[in-house]
């Protein structure tokens, strides 16, 4: 087995054993393979090993790969900062966007989503660790932003995404993930129909699964260290 396919298998086992250890139903956590900076060839290798969903952070870089791999019918998730001048490309070529943190961007994506395509599946990115430099809506503003998104016809709000500040041990990794889950619970209790918690990466996916992640976004553990852009 080639290196990336072997690494994919290892990550799948990590997800499955975390599901088991933390009492999550088997298969309840989806794996998003984060392929930013990797060439189409690497993605194809992982796709051939059975992975369907891939995450990209840079619209321009992703476009070439999406075109090159069109024959594989992969599912593309945009997970990076959304530049206004790239929103049309994102609305057209991706099935999911995890990184919405402003109403303006959401409105643009909805308006620019082609009408012959199903609504874009989206998550709100929440600045769960309250870092000054991080993207994401402050947690206390998430319910109002979610409410506003419900009115946009070409977006389907699925849930919340976060990238917590890195910490070392599982116990402290779980704290911000638990906070994001409690925010989702609160929004569900307010009547919003949401089913997605996009949280957990190579270094902390077990902690995220423990706290209820439904999508983990894993890059380096599958593809190896990121390449220079
Ligand atoms: C790069 C990236 C990941 C993957 O991180 P790894 O540590 O390589 O697994 C996940 N989520 C987002 C938003 C990213 O930008």
What residue's CA is closest to ligand 1, atom 10?
A: 217
Would you say the CB of residue 162 lies under 6 angstroms from ligand 1?
Answer: no
Question: Using 50, 70 and 90 to split pLDDT, how confident is the model at 38?
Answer: very high
Greater confidence (196 vs 133) lies with: 196
Residue-range domains of the chain with CATH: 3-223 (3.20.20.10)
- Its pTM stands at 0.97
| Euclidean distance between CA atoms 113 and 121, whole angstroms | 11
Return the ligand 1 atom nearest residue 203 CA: 7
Question: Using 50, 70 and 90 to split pLDDT, how confident is the model at 229?
Answer: confident
What is the model's pLDDT at position 94? 98
Would you say the CB of residue 125 lies under 6 angstroms from ligand 1?
Answer: no
| Euclidean distance between CA atoms 31 and 47, whole angstroms | 12
What is the model's pLDDT at position 225? 87
Pocket test for ligand 1, best of 8, 32, 34 (most atoms within 8 A of CB): 34
The burial of 204, by beta-carbon neighbours within 10 Å (0-12 exposed, 13-18 middle, 19 or more buried), is given as buried
Over residues 89-107, mean pLDDT: 98
| Euclidean distance between CA atoms 229 and 219, whole angstroms | 15
Please list the residues that pair with 197 across neighbouring strands: 160
Question: Using 50, 70 and 90 to split pLDDT, how confident is the model at 168?
Answer: confident
């Amino acid at each position: 087995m080639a290196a990336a396919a072997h690494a994919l298998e290892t990550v799948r086992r990590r997800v499955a054993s975390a599901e088991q250890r933390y009492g999550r139903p088997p298969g309840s956590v989806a794996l998003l393979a984060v392929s930013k900076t990797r060439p189409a060839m690497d993605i194809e290798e992982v796709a051939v090993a059975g992975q369907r969903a891939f995450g990209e952070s840079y619209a321009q870089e992703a476009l070439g790969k999406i075109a090159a791999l069109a024959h594989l019918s992969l599912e593309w998730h945009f997970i990076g900062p959304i530049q206004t001048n790239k929103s049309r490309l994102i609305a057209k070529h991706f099935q999911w966007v995890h990184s919405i943190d402003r109403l303006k961007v959401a409105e643009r994506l909805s308006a620019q989503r082609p009408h012959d395509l199903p609504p874009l599946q989206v998550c709100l990115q929440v600045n769960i660790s309250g870092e000054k430099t991080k993207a994401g809506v402050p947690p206390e503003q998430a319910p109002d932003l979610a409410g506003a998104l419900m009115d946009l016809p070409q977006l389907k709000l699925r849930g919340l995404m976060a990238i917590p500040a890195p910490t070392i041990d599982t116990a402290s990794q779980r704290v911000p993930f638990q906070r994001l889950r409690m925010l989702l619970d609160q929004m569900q209790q307010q009547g919003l129909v949401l089913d997605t918690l996009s949280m957990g990466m190579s270094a902390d996916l077990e902690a995220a699964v423990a706290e209820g992640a439904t999508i983990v976004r894993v890059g380096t553990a599958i593809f190896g260290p990121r390449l220079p852009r």
